[in-house]
């Protein structure tokens, strides 16, 4: 499938979910560093679980400096309800230290973001889009699954999906793909094209 089919599907998803008030984990944070930390936390965890855990962490450590100076066990305790909490706690502390040394400056490129502990391409794309208004397609399991089920791409990995979508999606839509497809994916699990399309009506 090409650009025309993508636009047809994207526009239908925009009409259905464009005004949905649901908050995702990578949205609504007052400080850029909080967005970075939360997206690290959100890997393999539901937004509904991640957001309150992140809020609790930031109440305990309201500044980047305080988080960077935190004890690793305190961070782990705050993350106890998340999947892979030990690894995430370690990455969060390491990334907080790096960002604090940089006076809170967030890398403005994908490659720069990927140098931070715990940051993969999904997080990197989300951050550069949200913080720096750069072009990027954030591909998580929902985007990867839906894009393949609908035949927009034929890929085996999220990175391949990211690259394939870049070829058929106009850049002005890139930053919106993740939110729309995530909301769509939350409503329709599984791999049935008919059910996915029916959810847009």
Residue 190 DSSP label: S
Tell me, yes or no, if 97 is annotated catalytic. Answer: no
Domains and CATH numbers, the chain: 3-21+137-198 (1.10.1670.10), 32-132 (1.10.340.30)
| Identified catalytic residue from 122, 167, 187, 194 | 122
Predicted pLDDT of residue 6: 96
Q: Are 100 and 74 in contact (CB under 8 A)?
A: no
Which residue from 200, 47, 16 is spatially nearest to 126, judged by alpha carbons?
47
**Is the whole model's pTM more than 0.85, yes or no?**
yes
The CA-atom distances, in angstroms, between 114 and each of 18, 47, 74, 76, 173 are: 29, 22, 25, 23, 23
Query: Which tokens in the block code for residue 47?
Result: 């937004």
Blockwise average pLDDT, block size 10, the chain, 201 residues? 92 96 95 97 93 97 98 96 96 98 96 96 94 94 96 96 97 96 94 94 89
Query: Which tokens in the block code for residue 76?
Result: 């782990």
């Amino acid at each position: 499938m090409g650009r025309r089919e993508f636009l047809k599907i994207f526009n239908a998803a925009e009409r259905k979910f464009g005004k949905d008030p649901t908050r995702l984990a990578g949205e609504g944070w007052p400080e850029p560093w909080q967005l970075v930390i939360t997206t690290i936390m959100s890997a393999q965890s539901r937004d509904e679980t991640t957001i309150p855990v992140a809020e609790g962490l930031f109440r305990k450590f309201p500044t980047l400096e305080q988080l960077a100076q935190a004890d690793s066990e305190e961070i782990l305790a705050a993350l106890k309800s998340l999947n892979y909490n030990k690894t995430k706690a370690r990455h969060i502390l390491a990334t907080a230290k790096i960002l604090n040394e940089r006076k809170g400056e967030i890398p403005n490129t994908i490659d720069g973001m990927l140098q931070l502990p715990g940051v993969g391409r999904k997080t990197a794309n989300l951050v550069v889009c949200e913080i720096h208004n750069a072009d990027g397609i954030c591909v998580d399991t929902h985007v990867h699954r839906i894009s393949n089920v609908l035949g927009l791409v034929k890929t085996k990995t999220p990175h391949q999906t990211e690259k394939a979508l870049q070829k058929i999606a106009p850049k002005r839509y890139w930053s919106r793909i993740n939110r729309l497809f995530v909301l769509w994916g939350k409503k329709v699990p599984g791999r049935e094209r008919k059910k996915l399309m029916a959810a847009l009506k």
